[in-house]
Amino acid sequence: MLDVQHLKVAYGQSVVIEDMSFKVDQGEILGIIGRNGMGKTTLFRSLIGMIPSAGGKVELGEKEITHDASYKRVAKGLSFVPQGRMIFPYLTVYENLVSGSRNGSKEEDLLEVYSLFPVLQEMRNRKGGNLSGGQQQQLAIGRALMTKPSVLLLDEPTEGIQPSIIKDISRSLREIRKLKNLTIVVSEQVLSFMQDTCDRLMVIEKGSIVREDKTADVDAEAIRKMLAV
């Protein structure tokens, strides 16, 4: 569903991702785990088209998107939940959600998001900025779903969120995948959420994938050591 081939990403002369390749199947949840500064956000920003790629190729469901602007990638089925959530604090929950929708069938999409995250329906008239961190994260995911994506990218969705809500987020991601056969790529610095959520895990170090396992086969001790260095 998503095919990244020899991707290179740089900020000016500073190369962060040298040569990265991976594939994600339809309906698969892939985790990318790595410490601060290893290139997770850079990878996602490049995939959604916020940073131009300096080399390589990206295909979304067989269609090349390597040089597309962000809005075109979204129209082709890619959606992004950025690190830090980036909801609109002065807009209501409802307005935040609708800001994410493309033309047509808004109402139906909205009801689907409300059924996944009932708290958003309860709070639909509150300002986004008045929600808790966990509720804001649910809002950011809901907003991303309003574009009816086939591939959802989430950058460190559990950052600054309390453990009980982290469990909820994990559960809702798996539920969305089941409902929609959605493909999900999610990044994190901590292992436990990823073990609960993902089918497959890759470890990123200095812009390279250094390890890859099915979640069931993951050597948690070895990965924790890599993350602790």
Ligand X SMILES: Nc1ncnc2c1ncn2[C@@H]1O[C@H](COP(=O)(O)OP(=O)(O)O)[C@@H](O)[C@H]1O
Binding residues vs Mg ion (CB under 5 A):
40-41, 83
Check if the beta carbon of residue 26 is closer than 8 Å to that of residue 183.
Answer: yes
| CA separation for the pair 214, 225 (Å, rounded) | 18
How many other C-beta atoms lie within 10 A of the C-beta of residue 146? 20
Which one of the spans 35-43, 116-124, 134-142, 167-175 is the region binding ligand X (CB under 6 A)? 35-43
Which stretch in 36-44, 109-117, 118-126, 191-199 sits in contact with ligand X by CB under 6 A?
Answer: 36-44
Q: Which of 30, 26, 21, 4 is nearest to 198 (CA)?
A: 30
Q: How many angstroms separate the CA atoms of 135 and 119, rounded? A: 7
Tokens, residue 76: 């082709």
Q: Which is nearer to Mg ion, 87 or 110 (CB)?
A: 87
Q: Which stretch binds ligand X (CB under 6 A): 40-48, 85-93, 121-129, 171-179?
A: 40-48
* Residue 11 binds to ligand X (criterion: CB under 6 A): yes
Contact 131, 91 (CB under 8 A): no
Applying CB under 6 A, among 24, 30, 33, 40 the residue interacting with ligand X is: 40
Residue 203 near ligand X by CB under 6 A = no
Binding residues for ligand X, rule: CB under 6 A, are: 11, 14, 16, 34, 36-42
